[in-house]
A and B are shown apart, each in its own frame.
Chain A
Amino acid sequence: MTVLTQNPARPHLAGDRSRIATNMTFVLVVLLVLASLFSLAIGAAGTSLWQGLSDLAMGRDLSLRDRVVLFDIRLPRTVMGILVGAALAVSGAVMQGLFRNPLADPGIVGVSAGAAFGAIVAIVLGGYLPAAIAASLGYYVVPAAAFVGSWVSTIILYRVSTRKGRTSVATMLLAGIALGSLTGAFSGVLIYIADDAQLRTLTFWGMGSVAGATWSKVLAALPLIAIALGVAPFLARGLNGLALGEAAASHMGISVQRTKNTAILTVAGATGAAVAVSGGIGFVGIVVPHLLRLMTGPDHRFLLINSALLGAALLLVADVISRTVIAPAELPIGIVTATIGGPFFFWVLLRQRGILDM
């Protein structure tokens, strides 16, 4: 991430939103901290975060129950929410930059479905893996399979919808539908042959939730998401260039092929890991970057990092809603994000109608 050194002597240019975007980063960091505390403080058990923290600070021992609630239930769930939210939002932002279109979102164009198919393969057929491989991959089997699924989907989608450096929006969306229904059908076959225990796993997983978060799940998702989030800022310059088209980007000195390959791997890694541990949580990837573009502009030097922060904060808030709105029961978080994201997507569509046919 480029850190802007603000030179007070430099006259401010109209139309230069880099300062607003930098300030937005600070605002979002604060928002994320608040959302994290909120997420740690609220839950069915009624354990008080403040009581727990002050007990710890005073050197008093927590009761076993409080310790479990805070450190083995709420904390992994919060960390998971941060990882998944950041991963989904950054996937969306990178994918939109790659496809040069604000409607490209892993959930909408079938990449999440590809990741889900990979995950289902791992869950249902994982038992057939040679023991040595299964043992060495451990918790990473499902994320790794989801990564492969989303990677292959992204490549197919890009190849189909992009010709001579230009992406056709209609082809992209239609190819996404085809890809989604194809992987959905394959997934259906696997679900059909799954045994009862696998079915239970699949059902909980498929609803889209960070509810079952454990430290082992967090660790399973962490490497891929951390790498994707770490790589994303280095894509900023390339994605900015790609906004002018592949030829112009290359003329400006950007290695276009490397940018595209890295972007595809980043999307696949972040989407794959997020889907593997949380199922299908939709619309974060389209809502977050779009809001940020409206507020601070499309410059990827700021958009990518701000998307990670806002995505994480938004997912935590959605998760808190999901576990409080019908408490003591829980609403799957995918339903919450879809309820917010569906109408939002319509709104984006209406705004884009004029330029969609480009």
Chain B
Amino acid sequence: MEREVIEEALYEVIDPELAINIVDLGLVYDIQIAESNEVFIKMTLTTPGCPMHDSILNGVKNRLLQIDEIEVVTVELVWEPVWNPSQMSLAAKKQLFG
């Protein structure tokens, strides 16, 4: 399984408050693919105690499980390193800064 396929799928997980996908927001820290078709995602959120906490995490699982080859998805939410705006893509910055 290609890492790009997973990344591409994660572009479709949108933060409903900011209306920007989690990859462009720089929330995804690491993607690991095990041989057993298990995918491990390490990610953060823009702020600890984000009300969309569970929704976004479930969104990641839901989207990746739609890919046929993936059988198990584990999402680890971390607060370190702390998310900062420099992690956003240019497209996300443009959308936020107007």
A and B are partners in one complex rather than unrelated chains: no
Q: Chain A interface (Cβ within 8 Å of chain B)? A: none
Q: Chain B interface (Cβ within 8 Å of chain A)? A: none
